[in-house]
Amino acid sequence: MLIDINTRPIPSDHRVVVARPGASYKLYADFVDGGFAGPELPGMFLRNEDISSTDELLTARILRAREIRKWHGYGRPEDRVPDLDLSSYDNGSDDPGVGQIYRVVNFYFREAKRGDLIAVPPRNFAGKVHVGELADDPAEIFKQEVERYPGDPIPARKVKWLGTIDKVDLPVRVIEAFRKPTPLLLVGTSDRDSFYSAAYRNFYREGHYSATFDVTSAEFDTTSGSVIPAFFNFVAANTREVDRNSGVALSFGEGAFRSLGEYAPHLAIDIQSPGILSIASQYITPLVASALLALALTVGPLAAEESFLATLQIGNSAAPPDDACVVPVREQVMTQMRLMGYDNWAHACELLREAANKTGLQSEAVVKED
């Protein structure tokens, strides 16, 4: 039996960028529906020109694209068609506006790696911010037609959209910073977790673990509303026992309301229909809770039997085969189950299944047959 914890590892050099979809957000639908993102530079590379991230005339191309963009904005008058000859533009221009655009071009053409996150906000403050991964490398930038600039494609990178965030729920510092007319905003490390939760749900980075749980009912009764957070605390309590090599595991009742200090995970609740619960911790508790919930709902009390534990494996389909998280999650799951024993685990399963039947509770972890 295999538990797939389905958890995305976040490397230390990972980037999260909020990208304005063109002036006045007018390319939002193009980006979202077309699965791409890029600078609003129509005609930077014409249809008959090869696109290159190392082109020596990038500044001239930016100047030409800026003129083409203005021309489209004016309604494409026949007497003001921009000159398409790059030699007509100053390739050494030190215009501050060009410098800002160049930094955006440099991000898409050279800096942004496959797997970095792009978040595209709508103009409407009540709308959805789409969050996705860059699906290709800088060398694969391409020319993309958009309705606003017929005949003059923009340079673009492919994006795989993974999730959304309500714009009003963006971190305050991101909202404040993005009120300035900047086409790109690099999100600081301390403000990235909401983007990671939207994209990956279960993820970990250095010193931080996070897991998301779905619920389908917006109405919790008092039992369900206490059992689910109690389960998270129960797992956290036993994670601490295993880390301390105490040789004991607490029952559900003992661990549910234990004071845990820094081991107590942070809980965020968004109970709509459907809704989510998210837990985060500096310890591996969230991923262990995700795996144990999957076991409780899929296998039940039999998962505590030695014959079952002897064949139990942990995998992570969202990470490379040598993922560093697999071994400690397996150690925690196996040790907690063995120390708990059949009776204590059976009691936890009974409570969790009752809560799941009422709320639709489920985790990102999946139990698979060999």
Angle at CA 117, nearest 5°, toward 112 and 119? 115
Give the helix ranges, DSSP H, for the chain: 28-34, 58-73, 96-106, 172-178, 193-200, 222-243, 252-256, 285-298, 306-309, 326-359
In sequence order, what are the residues at sequence separation of 6 or more whose Cβ sits closer than 8 angstroms to the Cβ of residue 57?
86, 91
Q: Are 217 and 273 in contact (CB under 8 A)?
A: yes
CA torsion, ordered 252, 256, 243, 325, to nearest 10 deg? 90
CA atoms within 13 A on the CB side of 340: 33
Which pair of structure tokens corresponds to residue 231?
Answer: 């389960």
Distance CA 162, CA 240 (A): 33
Distance CA 1, CA 310 (A): 9
**Displacement of CA 73 from its chain's centroid (Å):** 35
What local confidence, expressed as pLDDT, does residue 272 receive?
64
Task: Give pLDDT < 50 ranges for the chain.
Answer: none
Phi, psi of 151, deg, nearest 5: 85, -10
| Pairs from 221-228 (Cβ < 8 Å, separation ≥ 24) | 221/358, 223/354, 223/355, 223/358, 224/354, 224/355, 224/358, 224/359, 227/351, 227/352, 227/354, 227/355, 228/277, 228/355, 228/359, 228/361
* Secondary structure of residue 245 in the 3-state scheme: coil
Q: How many residues does the chain have?
A: 370
Phi, psi of 34, deg, nearest 5: -90, -15
In sequence order, what are the residues at sequence separation of 6 or more whose Cβ sits closer than 8 angstroms to the Cβ of residue 128?
122, 164, 165, 166, 167
What local confidence, expressed as pLDDT, does residue 179 receive?
83
Q: Are 3 and 287 in contact (CB under 8 A)?
A: no
What local confidence, expressed as pLDDT, does residue 222 receive?
76
Residue in the block written with tokens 């809560």: 355
What local confidence, expressed as pLDDT, does residue 217 receive?
78
What local confidence, expressed as pLDDT, does residue 218 receive?
67
Q: Are 368 and 1 in contact (CB under 8 A)?
A: yes
Q: Which residues pair with 164 in a beta bridge?
A: 130
β-pair type (2-4, 366-368): antiparallel
Distance CA 37, CA 40 (A): 9
Distance CA 234, CA 232 (A): 5
C-beta atoms surrounding 122 within 10 Å: 16
Which pair of structure tokens corresponds to residue 327?
Answer: 């071994």
- In 3D space, the residue among 269, 270, 366 whose CA is nearest the CA of residue 315 turns out to be 366
What local confidence, expressed as pLDDT, does residue 216 receive?
84
Which pair of structure tokens corresponds to residue 34?
Answer: 């077309």
**Displacement of CA 161 from its chain's centroid (Å):** 10
Distance CA 202, CA 280 (A): 10
* Secondary structure of residue 368 in the 3-state scheme: strand
Which pair of structure tokens corresponds to residue 356?
Answer: 């799941």
DSSP conformational letter for 19: E
